[in-house]
Structure 1
Amino acid sequence: MKKIVLFFILVKSLYAENFNDVTKALEKDDYKNAYTILKSLENKQDKNVLFELARLYDYGCWVRQNISEAVKYYKKAAALGHVEAKYNLGIIYYLGEDNLKNSDGKITACNKYMDEKDDIKPSLAVLQADDKEALNWFLKANKEGHSEAKNSINLICDSKPEICKQK
């Protein structure tokens, strides 16, 4: 029995160390290292791991910006209770993919990318703005106390009150 307990303590401490390494890598803008560690932890179904993977795809850091992949990981993190993932989904659906990118087609100034042959292929489908879906995500985030969600709800309800009457 002691061996089993020690095994679980060891596994838990290794995971904590790895996620701490992710945090340190992100603080240093070492997206390659962060991505590598996150991908190794992806199957653990941890909301923080999935959220950070989503952000890398959302902002295009180390990987090509891929909003479809970002949404996939944000939804997984949101299903596990990550409030910021819910809010970010609201933002993505509110703005739509075209409005998320700046004039050079990227959101951030991340400039270190993996070789395209190693990256996943970008989605050909462009996520369109969807106020109703955005409202649903903002409502979920607001219910859990996200500080900006109420303002986002008001923004949608002021511009499209017919959507809010249905809620």
Structure 2
Amino acid sequence: MADSERLSAPGCWAACTNLLRIRKGILLFAEIILCLVILICFSASTSAYSSLSVFEMILAAIFFVIYMCDLNTKIKIINWPWSDFFRSLIAAILYLITSIVVLIERGHHSKIIAGVLGLIATCLFGFDAYDTFPLKQQRHTAAPTDPADGPV
């Protein structure tokens, strides 16, 4: 395949870079990276809290692939805005609780770093929940009041 064909052919890399140009793609990518860093910190401290990071990283990666492949418009049986909202809201709540518990326990330095990064993840997932709140995107249009605007 020639270089010009490779650049013009739609593929996985092009879909990934196109998603990374919008806010939702950047948020999902940042969530994946932050969960990975928190997982590494929890693993270094031999803490039992690493399952939250693994779970949220996998969910963020799944939603990244769904938005990258445009499956949210093709699979109509699932309400994607509400699913994404609840995913990020639950992640923010769980990271907040876990981070507070980890910071109160005080342990290994990497555990404290993971707690602080968990608070940052709380803010990131909370902003994602705020940004994807489905009712914010719906606009109410007023019903016509003029008899001429109504049906004939």
TM-score (normalised: structure 2): 0.28
More helix as a share of residues: 2
The structure with more radius of gyration: 2
The answer to which structure, 1 or 2, has the higher relative contact order (CA under 8 A, 6+ apart) is 2
